[in-house]
Structure 1
Amino acid sequence: MKCESARDCIVLLKYGELPDELAGTLEQHLMNCEGCSAELDAFQEFEEHLAALPVLEPSPNLLAQSRMRLDDALDMIPPRGFLAQLRTNVYRWIGHVQSAPALATLLLGVGFLAGNFTLRYQVAHAPKPAPVVTVTHPDSVIANVTGIVQTPNSELVQVNYNRVTPETMEGSLDSPEIRKLLMVGTSAAATPGVRMNSVSLLTSECMAGHECQSSTDGKGIRHALMVSLRYDQDAGVRMKALEGLQRYVAQDTHVRDAVLEAVANDADPQVRQTAIGVLGPVQSDSSVRQVLRTVSTQDANPYIRTASYQALQGSPNIQ
């Protein structure tokens, strides 16, 4: 996402009109772009400043003076020129044509025949297009991931993806190029099967402790799993992302916040119940207990209320 599009999305976000499919892309852009982050902060400060100002109603004298000045300005408008009169006459003639159905039908028929003849002439005399030649460039941008196949009982992964034409890369899960393609496969533009395979393989890397560190630039495996947990439409993909993030919930507050959002807001009850179990190592944390207490008393799902209550009973109280 470019900065110009991001600033438009910021305005839509503040007015609650940002589409869900753009929310994840905007969040990733804000983590990488200081200028757009400053734009969002400035927007919030501006709203807070406006909210603090009192709302003043115009006085009756001001309204009366404004109406008088408007009447004077209308009286000072010069008479219409030749072009304005010509435009008026054209509109009047169009109105006469609309009031005469036979004449309007005749004009419509003549226009249709003239347009058809012109189109046939242009098609007949148009130059023949040259055959398209597709050239694959090694440094072209990856468009999307179309398929993932893992060799059984090994770390060998084959990833099919599109640049200008479909291409295939085969290598180990430890390869940075393979991991980059897998993270591209977690995006909302990929098919559900590709997203599930990508998240599953990244989860296995995190569970095995293979380079799943927190990334401040928004490009790491852990960040990709958090984005999938927050925004993916497939409950199975979100469940798999939870598995990959489970071992980091105690050490990474960003992961903890993402899991708490799943507990409070996820649309799938099974995902929410799993997220409650993932929070087991940090149930004594004050923010975790606050969310669990709110869910246990206010959530509409009785099973989720029960699971939250049991989690609270199994953790020590904070003095």
Structure 2
Amino acid sequence: MNCEGAKDRLLDYLNNELPAADRATLDAHLANCPDCRHELAETKQVWQLMATVPTPEPRPDMRTNFYAMLDTFAEAEAARPTRSWTSILDQIKSFWTPTLAARLAYSLLLVSLGVAAGYWLQQKQSPDVAYRQQIDTLSSQVQEMRQMMMLSMLENPSATERLRAVSYTKDISDVDGRVIDALLTTLNNDPNVNVRLVTLEALADLGHDSRVREGLIHALPQQDSPLVQVALADVMVKLQEKRSLKPLRQMLRQEGLNDLVKSKIEQTIRELS
């Protein structure tokens, strides 16, 4: 077993989910590989850190309040009149914000222009060339609409919707500056740690872009979550970004820096030096 295969199995190893044969092979590798033993210790510390996050205890009256809420809801539904077209239109109006209307209008304009351009080209050029150009135009418009949808969803107050928005980057073939800026803003400012971690993963996949690399380096001192700090240090190693050494050393001088984060940063500095 090589180091890459061993590291892929560490989580299953810690959770006692490896088959006996694989576990024995991994034990033998760990006995002779100090790097993988260190990686195992680091991974175990991360799990221990996550285990310290307190789980809120349900209040004693939660069950009573829940059933009272259900009764209230059932009574309200029973007394509720049949939905009319007026009520449906009112709901649509409440959802129809000026921003959404402008973005939808812009998208429809792009599609209309694409169809018109495709029809004109079809009249001027051979059928094959016109067809290919029309397909390219529509593909470009679909990409634009995906980016607009993603940017809009990143502003949603729901963390679930923001997670979904970040996942859309995988469907965008040519990510532009607006998307990169929005992802970096989310990484640095989103109140939800899980959203920031998923955003970091999406940005790491775009690491070939110099703007992304620069933004990730500047993001290092702005993180306050130990989980994000550790993950960002891993990304710096993955990208072999030596320009991150200076902000990493500055982070080591921060007061109250988490011991796990400090150990991870020291390891990252060694690997990049």
- The TM-score bracket by the shorter chain reads 0.3 to 0.5
Larger RCO (alpha carbons 8 Å, 6+ apart)? 2
Give TM-score, length-normalised by structure 2: 0.46
- More strand per residue: 1 or 2? 1
- More helix per residue: 1 or 2? 2
Give TM-score, length-normalised by structure 1: 0.40
